[in-house]
A and B are shown apart, each in its own frame.
Chain A
Amino acid sequence: MPRVACPTCGYQNPASYAACDLCRSPLRGQAAGAAAPPPAPRRDFYGEQSSNSRQSWILMAAFVVLVVFVAWATGEASGLGPVGLLFGLAFGTLGALLAYYAGDKMVLSASGAVEAAPDREPVLHNIVEELCLASGLPKPRLYVIESAAPNAFATGRDPARASVAVTRGLLQKLSREELQGVLAHEMSHVRNLDMRFATIVGILVGTVALLCDWGWRSWRFRGGRRSSGRGGAVLVLLALVLAIFAPLASRLIQMAISRRRELLADASAVELTRNPGGLAAALRRIAADPAGLEGANRATQHLFIVNPLKSYGIDSSALLSTHPPIEARIRILESMM
């Protein structure tokens, strides 16, 4: 498939796209013989924020449509009707509630984070207190992970119960200005309620998977009997296709939302610090660091400021990645300078 690089962030888009899939800036020169495109407009964080949150909500709406559609098809295929929907919702919600109320503690202990005392880590506490003044947020609890890999994450279901964890490597390898950029990104996750957002999305993903699984089983249990006439057969076929593709589709939407929220947090961090250079320099340094993070796994990878497990190059489309390519993030930040 022919691809075209975005002039702003460098992301490789399918040649047919008019606007960049990642940063939404127009792709120049896609039509042969078109007039010279206007220079890319200077971007500001207000515009970045509103476009990013709009994108998130569009994705959420697509998600809800998918869930409703799957639930309806499952009900039809299994012959149980709306009962299937209720069952799926109940299971999905139960698991999500547990994640919602105890998730932050589970994540912190899984990554080996230890609470940081103010007199032991004065710079960390100072920087976070500064950012609290800038954002009007209450001070989150601060944790340090004893690992040489520079990385950080935020968790907690609302700003009053938020926690921010940074690695020892981050504190040692980054300058004060770069550290401020990273912590501003984490505080932005807290302020944008990204943890809550991720939980809601998690509920929807789980529900889709459960419904599909359940619809599939009950159809097989009934021995693949046809319901009534040709209309019923078409419906069952449709439900089967859905049962196979809906879980995959829901994962793709979840990843797209995660990437969108990362960009939103980058833009919000610039709103707080008014200094895109600090975060850009920090991302560059984190990306160049060879040390690996021991406590990270597939369940926690999406939380970190830079994905600790895999990094995709800028020329891959990275559909299943939780983070946008780091070069693209740096280029977007630099376009705000």
Chain B
Amino acid sequence: MAAFVVLLVLLGGFALALVGIYNGLVTLRNQVKNAWQQIGVQLKRRHDLIPNLVEVVKDYMGYEQETLEKVIRARNQALSATGVQGTAAAEGALTGALRSLFAVVEAYPQLKANENVSKLQEELTSTENRIAFARQFYNDMVMRYNTRIQVFPSNLIASSFGFKDEAYFEIPAAEQEPVKVDLR
């Protein structure tokens, strides 16, 4: 009788631990999804700002059409990108294009003095920071989630219920270098 009770208590405890680990995994996976959506919100904010910027800047920048076109092209590519890796690569390219555009703006005194431009520049600087912070938050979440999936004993439950590693939002190495602009 006593042995039976002990067995029952052990089984109950085991089941409770199982449920706890499973629920913890689901919560973490949802947090990763939510963090990913936060990046999406900020990326959309940037996509929406770019047409305004191009509109304001294009009249001043007669000789710099190429830089502008690069930004527009990078934006269109970013709009159609899918998946974590594809989005990361396209958005990285857009970040690079925007940086060289702002480096060029620095060379135009009237442009720098324009109130609309400085407002847009602040908005875009802020958006760049938001994207970077949202990415940092997402990557931290992915690290926590992936670690939980890989460590014992939650790895047993993760593998039997199909929890899979999430991809990090990584910037291509080329985009991490500072921009070099040739101003003749």
In residues 166-199 of chain A, which contact B (Cβ within 8 Å)? 176, 180
Distance of B168 from chain A, by nearest CB (Å)? 15
**A130: CB under 8 A from chain B?**
yes
Are A126 and B126 within 8 A (Cβ)?
Answer: yes
How far is B137's CA from A131's CA once the two chains are assembled, in angstroms?
Answer: 11
| Cα A176 to Cα B134 with chains together (Å) | 19
Q: Which of B23-75 contact A (CB under 8 A)?
A: 38, 42
Q: How large is the interface on B (under 10, 10 to 19, 20 to 34, 35 or more residues)?
A: 10 to 19
Which A residues are CB-close (under 8 A) to B42?
133
The residues of A that contact B122 with a CB separation of less than 8 Å are 122-123, 126
Q: Which of B123, B133, B136 has the most CB of A within 10 A?
A: B133
Chain A residues in 8 Å Cβ range of B123: 126
In the assembly, what is the distance between CA of A126 and CA of B119, in Å?
12
User: A223 on the interface (CB 8 Å rule)?
Assistant: no
Q: What residues of B have a CB within 8 angstroms of the CB of A272 in the complex?
A: 133
Q: Does B116 contact A (CB under 8 A)?
A: no
In the assembly, what is the distance between CA of A272 and CA of B140, in Å? 11
Instruction: Tell me if A59 is interfacial: C-beta within 8 Å of chain B.
Output: no
Chain A interface residue count, CB cutoff 8 Å, equals: 14
CB of B129 within 8 A of chain A? Answer: yes
Contacts of A180 in B (CB 8 A): 129
Of the residues B119, B125, B126, B137, contact of A134 by C-beta under 8 Å: B137
Cα separation A131 to B102 with both chains bound (whole Å): 23
Hey, which chain B residues are within 8 Å of A134, CB to CB? 133, 136-137
Q: Give Cα A180 to B133, complex, Å.
A: 12
Interface membership of chain B positions 102-144, coded 1 if the CB is closer than 8 angstroms to chain A and 0 otherwise: 0000000000000000010011011001100110110000000
- Give the Cβ gap from B5 to chain A, nearest Cβ, in Å: 40
Q: Mark A119-141, 1 if CB is under 8 A from B, else 0.
A: 00011001101110110100000
With the chains together, A229 CA to B11 CA distance in Å?
A: 62
What is the bound-complex CA distance between A262 and B133, given in angstroms? 23
Q: Nearest B residue to A125 by beta-carbon distance?
A: B126
Task: List 5 A–B pairs whose Cβ atoms lie within 8 Å, in order of A's numbering.
Answer: A127-B129, A130-B126, A130-B129, A131-B133, A134-B136
Q: Pick the 9 closest A-B CB pairs, nearest first.
A: A134-B133, A126-B126, A133-B133, A130-B129, A133-B134, A130-B130, A133-B130, A130-B133, A130-B126
Enumerate chain B interface residues (CB-CB to A < 8 A). Answer: 38, 42, 119, 122-123, 125-126, 129-130, 133-134, 136-137
Interface set of A (CB-CB < 8 Å, partner B): 122-123, 126-127, 129-131, 133-134, 136, 176, 180, 272, 274
